[in-house]
């Protein structure tokens, strides 16, 4: 192992996992101009080297940048360590179905990071992201603000896209969040949704849409089922999450104080304790700087509690002090 140091290179990032999501995220980061150095790490060293070489050939069309395959010693001074490693979600498989495989993988990865005294921010992207964010926090010993799950940033982008299409407006002017689990129990927070400050139902009527409940249900279902549809057609989703990774990194590197629905551990907000799920938070150079308590109606609060309960059942089955994935696993 190389000599450890606590210096952080704000222009350096690391990508652990070079599958579809990792390579798409690396490509998005190359185009972003946020970093001058990016190290790719994968259990398959040839895969990491191939992706680094392929992506590097796009550098002449972007900004000068060093992209290379490396190992865990190369992450010590990275300002952001993105983890996308893990088993892929298969057709008819939920994100929570991946927990057994991917917690085991994290038990190999996270200790490699923590023993090198890295001072960068961990960005967890692997699924189930809420569970794995919790696992990463507990295994790493990092301050909670330094471990961020990509959470429902992608789901929220999907919601904004669908609403933009439905209303015939620029999706960037749509302000709405998907909260809770990045998965089947996610919640569209309609009560706080608006288009440039105009309440969503009012704006819908301005555009000739009056069947609010049906439209909201249809759009929420489309968003929730997007990954299943894409996986059924092309076996994986990666471009949208790649852009989501870029957006979160952008908020951190540029210290934007952006409000993004990232995953982190709850401490009493909405009556939820010791569960990692996605809620809007201020994201800047220190990671999660503060949670933003958006207004929820009674139904949304109930569904958020149910989403937390779904995740709690999984978390309670984890034994992170041993090599076992679950206490009762045979």
Residue ranges in 152-297 assigned as alpha helix (H): 153-167, 200-206, 212-224, 226-234, 239-253
Give the sign of the dihedral formed by CA 18, CA 21, CA 27, CA 30: negative
Contact 293, 283 (CB under 8 A): no
Contact 40, 68 (CB under 8 A): yes
Neighbour-count burial of 156, counting CB atoms closer than 10 A to its CB (0-12 exposed, 13-18 middle, 19+ buried): buried
Active site residues: 182
CA–CA gap between residue 230 and residue 59 (Å, rounded): 29
CA–CA gap between residue 303 and residue 75 (Å, rounded): 39
- Write b or e for each residue in 104-114: b if 16 or more Cβ atoms lie within 10 A of its Cβ, otherwise e: ebbbebbebbe
Task: Label the pairing between strands 178-179 and 187-188.
Answer: antiparallel
């Amino acid at each position: 192992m190389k000599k450890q140091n606590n210096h952080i290179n704000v222009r350096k990032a690391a990508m652990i996992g070079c599958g579809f999501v990792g390579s798409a995220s690396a490509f998005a980061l190359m185009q972003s101009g946020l970093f001058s150095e990016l190290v790719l790490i994968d259990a398959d060293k040839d895969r990491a080297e191939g992706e680094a070489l392929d992506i590097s050939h796009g550098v002449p069309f972007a900004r000068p940048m060093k992209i290379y395959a490396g190992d865990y010693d190369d992450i010590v001074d990275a300002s952001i360590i993105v983890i996308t490693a893990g088993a892929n979600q298969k057709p008819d498989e939920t994100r929570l179905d991946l927990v057994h495989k991917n917690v085991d993988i994290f038990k190999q990865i996270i200790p490699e990071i923590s023993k090198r005294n890295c001072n960068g921010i961990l960005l967890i992207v692997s699924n189930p992201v809420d569970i794995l964010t919790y696992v990463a926090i507990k295994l790493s010993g990092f301050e909670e603000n330094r471990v961020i799950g990509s959470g429902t940033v992608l789901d929220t982008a999907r919601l904004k896209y669908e609403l933009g299409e439905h209303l015939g407006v620029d999706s960037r002017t749509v302000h709405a969040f998907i909260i809770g689990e990045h998965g089947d129990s996610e919640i569209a927070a309609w009560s706080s949704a608006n288009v440039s400050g105009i309440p969503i139902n009012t704006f819908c009527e301005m555009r000739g849409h009056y069947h609010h409940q049906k439209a909201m249900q249809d759009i929420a279902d489309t968003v929730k089922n997007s990954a299943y549809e894409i996986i059924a057609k092309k076996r994986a989703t990666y471009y949208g999450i790649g852009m989501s990774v870029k957006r979160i990194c952008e908020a951190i590197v540029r210290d934007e104080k952006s409000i993004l629905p990232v995953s982190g551990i709850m401490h009493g907000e909405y009556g939820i304790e010791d569960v990692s799920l996605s809620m809007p938070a201020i994201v800047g150079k220190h990671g999660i700087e503060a949670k933003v308590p958006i207004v929820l109606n009674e139904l949304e609060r109930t569904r958020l509690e149910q989403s937390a309960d779904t995740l709690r059942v999984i978390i309670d089955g984890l034994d992170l002090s041993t090599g076992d994935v679950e206490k009762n696993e045979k």
